[in-house]
């Protein structure tokens, strides 16, 4: 028997039995024991609403004994509880299967869990990499903004006589504008 704990701290037991799996099949149209359609079954219970219904049917006797309505049962779930409960459900289904099939099913489930962990680790690594890139970009932006704002003001860089230090002091050549020549002032 596998268990999970909801967000309200209530412990729920998942006991795989022919009766429990039949109730799930009748109520939820999910055949947890039909191995040729295992992929279809997993696809169905990957829908969180279907999974919630399956879990409720598996725990219905306990819920009724505690006075927990289906809505209250559903309110006791978040993503972490759903994940824990779905793993418990799959493990209970595997345990219910014939002894000669269990090792292969356990290995397949272990491989699927390892793939999930690998995907999560890849995502964490990528997020950390993006975070470092964003920090570097922000630092670069702040540094370039700081240097641009730390330049002396225009009046500070131009002496009172109107000529900057880089100026030769010679008058500028006249500018052409629209065919007429203007004298530099």
- Phi and psi angles of residue 78, each rounded to the nearest 5 degrees, phi first: -125, -175
Q: Mark whether 115 and 32 lie in a shared domain.
A: no
> Do 129 and 58 share a domain, yes or no?
no
Same domain, 61 and 142: no
Alpha helices in the chain (DSSP H): 18-28, 38-45, 48-66, 70-75, 79-96, 102-149, 154-157
* pTM summary value: 0.60
CB 91 within 8 A of CB 2: yes
State whether 114 and 128 are in the same domain: yes
CA–CA separation, 35 vs 7, rounded Å? 32
Residue 117 is predicted with a pLDDT of 78
Are 27 and 77 members of one domain?
yes
3-state secondary structure of 14: strand
Backbone dihedral angles phi then psi of residue 151, each to the nearest 5 degrees: -65, 150
Burial 59-89 (b: 16+ CB within 10 A, else e): bbebbeeeebeeeebbebbeeebbebbbbbb
Which structural domain range is residue 106 located in? 99-147
Higher pLDDT pick, 19 / 90: 19
- Both 83 and 114 in one domain: the answer is no
Task: Count structural domains, the chain.
Answer: 2
Asked if 59 and 12 touch (Cβ cutoff 8 Å), the reply is yes
Q: Are residues 82 and 42 in the same domain?
A: yes
Tens of pLDDT along 35-71? 655 566 667 778 899 999 999 999 999 999 999 999 9
DSSP conformational letter for 12: E
Query: Is residue 182 one of the residues assigned to a domain?
Result: no
107 and 91 in a common domain: no
Q: Is residue 36 part of a domain?
A: yes
Residue 24 CA to residue 119 CA, distance in Å, equals: 30
CB neighbour list of residue 161: distance below 8 Å, 6 or more residues apart: none
In terms of domains, do 42 and 103 share one? no
Residues 84 and 134 in one domain: no
Residues 25 and 15 in one domain: yes
Q: Is residue 42 part of a domain?
A: yes
pLDDT tens-digit readout, 104-143:
777 777 777 777 778 778 888 888 888 888 988 888 888 8
Q: Check whether residue 8 and residue 82 sit in a common domain.
A: yes
For residue 31, being part of any structural domain is answered with yes
């Amino acid at each position: 028997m596998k268990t999970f704990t909801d967000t309200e701290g209530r412990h729920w037991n998942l006991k795989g039995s022919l009766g429990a799996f039949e109730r799930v099949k009748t109520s939820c149209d999910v055949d947890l024991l039909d191995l040729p359609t295992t992929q279809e079954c997993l696809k169905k219970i990957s829908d969180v609403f279907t999974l919630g219904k399956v879990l409720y049917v598996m725990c219905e006797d306990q819920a009724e004994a505690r006075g927990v309505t289906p809505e209250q049962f559903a309110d006791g779930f978040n993503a972490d509880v759903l994940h824990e409960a779905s793993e418990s459900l799959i493990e209970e289904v595997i345990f219910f299967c014939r002894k000669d099939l269990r090792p292969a099913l356990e290995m397949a489930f272990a491989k699927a869990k390892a793939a999930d962990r690998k995907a999560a680790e890849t995502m964490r690594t990528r997020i950390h990499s993006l975070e470092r890139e964003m920090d570097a970009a922000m630092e670069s932006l702040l540094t370039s903004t700081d240097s641009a704002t730390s330049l002396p003001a225009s009046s500070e860089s131009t002496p009172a006589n109107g000529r900057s230090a880089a100026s030769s002091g010679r008058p500028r050549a006249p500018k052409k504008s629209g065919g007429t020549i203007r004298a530099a002032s």
